[in-house]
Amino acid sequence: MHNPVQALCELIAGMHDEKGRVTLPGFYDRVRALDQEERDMLARLPCGDEVWKQLTGVKELWSGEEGYTATERVGARPTLEVNGIWGGFTGEGSKTVLPAKATAKISTRLVPDQEPSEIRDMLCEYLRTHAPNTVTWEVREHSHGYGSVMDRTSPTMKAAVEALKSVFGKEPLFRREGGSVPIVAMMQQKLGVDSVMLGFSLPGDGIHGPNERQHLATWFKGIDTYIHFLMSL
**pLDDT in the model for residue 209:** 83
Average pLDDT over residues 93-121: 94
- Residue 155: pLDDT band (50, 70, 90) is very high
Domains of the chain: 4-130 (3.30.70.360), 155-232 (1.10.150.900)
- What number of other Cβ atoms are within 10 A of residue 42's Cβ? 21
Instruction: Please state, in angstroms and as integers, the Cα–Cα distance from residue 104 to each residue in 4, 40, 133, 136, following that order.
Output: 11, 37, 19, 14
- Residue 117: pLDDT band (50, 70, 90) is very high
Sign of dihedral through CA atoms 35, 38, 43, 47? Answer: negative
pTM: 0.85
Q: Which amino acid is at 139?
A: V
pLDDT above 90 as % of the chain = 61
**pLDDT in the model for residue 50:** 87
**pLDDT in the model for residue 46:** 86
147 alpha carbon, distance to own chain's centre: 9
- Residue 48: pLDDT band (50, 70, 90) is confident
pLDDT above 70 as % of the chain = 100
d(CA 111, CA 74): 11
**pLDDT in the model for residue 5:** 96
Q: What is the pLDDT of residues 163-179, one digit of tens each?
A: 999 999 999 999 888 77
Instruction: Please state, in angstroms and as integers, the Cα–Cα distance from residue 31 to each residue in 60, 158, 197, 206, following that order.
Output: 27, 26, 21, 29
- Residue 100: pLDDT band (50, 70, 90) is very high
**pLDDT in the model for residue 130:** 97
pLDDT higher than 90, residue 210: no
Average pLDDT over residues 125-133: 97
Q: What is the pLDDT of residues 133-142, one digit of tens each?
A: 999 999 999 9
Q: Which amino acid is at 87?
A: G
Q: What is the pLDDT of residues 19-38, one digit of tens each?
A: 999 999 999 999 998 999 99
pLDDT higher than 80, residue 180: no
Average pLDDT over residues 195-207: 86
